[in-house]
Structure formats: structure tokens, C-alpha cells
A and B are shown apart, each in its own frame.
Chain A
Amino acid sequence: QKEVEQNSGPLSVPEGAIASLNCTYSDRGSQSFFWYRQYSGKSPELIMFIYSNGDKEDGRFTAQLNKASQYVSLLIRDSQPSDSATYLCAVSGSNDYKLSFGAGTTVTVRA
């Protein structure tokens, strides 16, 4: 079992719709959870982090964390073509220094 698994893509959504990205992790002691966006040919860029159970909203992005289910998700509301990218879920282990990354979900927003 991989440490961090993301729903397989690619995910294609129409402009203005909600894109929903899911991630599960295996280390129950994980403390910190991150979402990165990576445009083609570029390096990953941190867009959201969440430490506590529940929802965290930042603009059009909402991260949701459920530690009991070992599940973290990212919702992108009012999706725009500029949101087209690969989204990486990253989880810190119980050692709290090293992030393990999922393989990523590629999102394409159709105009």
C-alpha cells in the first residue's frame, strides 16, 4: 500500500464547476496535510495546508480533513481554465519532517 494515494485522473470539469480531489494516507500518526499545484514543466506550489479535522477555506479552495478516515480532500469552486494543473497531496509522517507525496491528479478545466 502506498503511503499517499490520490484518485486517478485525469479529471475534466467545465468552467465554473466544482472540481473534487481526494487523497488517502496510511500513517495514522500524520499531523500535517498539504495540497500543491504543479503546472506542466514547473515546480510544485503550495496552495493549501490543513492540520485539524474539518474544513478550511481559502478563496475558491476548500481543504477537508478527516483523520479518523485518514482522508483529505480539496474542492475547487468556480473552476477556471487557469486551474488546469496537476494537484499533489502531501502528508507529513508521524516524524513530522518529511512529506510523502501522492502521484497527483491532473485537472483540466474546459472553457
Chain B
Amino acid sequence: GAGVSQSPSNKVTEKGKDVELRCDPISGHTALYWYRQSLGQGLEFLIYFQGNSAPDKSGLPSDRFSAERTGGSVSTLTIQRTQQEDSAVYLCASSFRQGDGYTFGSGTRLTVV
């Protein structure tokens, strides 16, 4: 696609529910990243994919968070048993290769009530 596409753009969920966030990167971009940004805070790295592999998952906050990427393209970030502290904007980014600047998607704003 022309840009990085994320869905949904907004998600309100009840505490304890599971949520899935989707990212469709720019076609041909092999590197895919998930970050999150809490209100007024900086960007927090979550996970990096090169192709379908995730060489760096070091930023996932807990085992409630998981992510996968299939076909070297679409990625889903799953948060199980959501907590209020999970409320943030989840940003996906992709790049043609590692070391290049990222192109960010428009983000998913997650609100846990």
C-alpha cells in the first residue's frame, strides 16, 4: 500500500478483555516495528520484526503482550487481559531495511475502561 495502515483507529475495551491491533506495512518493507506512546510521553519500543521473525521482543511490557507477522507483511499485536495502564496510542512503523528511517502508521488509540 501507499502508507502504513493500522486498524482500528480507536478501540475502547473493558478491563480484562483481549484486544488485537493490526498493522499493514508499506509493500516491500521488510522491517516492522511496534511502539507505544502514552499521553505526553515519548515513544516506547515494543517489538521489531525482520520478515516474519522477531529478533527483538525486549520492549514487550509483560507476557500479556504478544505479536506476530505473517507472509512478511501484516502484523497483529495482541494484548490479553487488558489493564488500564495499557491505555496508549500504539504505533506501527515499517522500513525498507534496518537502519532506514521509519514510516509510521496513524496509530491505534486504545482506551481501557
Seen from chain A, the residues whose Cβ lies within 8 Å of a Cβ on chain B are 31-32, 34, 42-46, 49, 88, 90, 92, 96-104
Most B Cβ at <10 Å: residue of A32, A42, A43, A102: A43
Inter-chain CA distance A11–B56, complex, in Å, is 35
Q: Say which one of B11-19, B40-48, B65-73, B79-87 lies at the interface with A.
A: B40-48
Residues of B within 8 A of A43 (CB): 89, 91, 104-107
Q: Check A46 against B42 for contact (C-beta < 8 Å).
A: no
Q: Check B43 against A32 for contact (C-beta < 8 Å).
A: no
Q: Check A44 against B43 for contact (C-beta < 8 Å).
A: yes
The smallest C-beta distance from B52 to any residue of chain A, in angstroms, reads: 15
- Chain B residues touching A, range: 20 to 34
Inter-chain CA distance A103–B38, complex, in Å, is 11
Seen from chain B, the residues whose Cβ lies within 8 Å of a Cβ on chain A are 31, 33, 35, 41-43, 45, 48, 50, 55-56, 89, 91, 98-107
Closest 10 CB pairs of A and B: A97-B98, A101-B43, A43-B104, A103-B42, A46-B101, A96-B99, A34-B101, A49-B101, A43-B107, A44-B104
The smallest C-beta distance from B57 to any residue of chain A, in angstroms, reads: 11
The smallest C-beta distance from A5 to any residue of chain B, in angstroms, reads: 11
Inter-chain CA distance A103–B39, complex, in Å, is 12
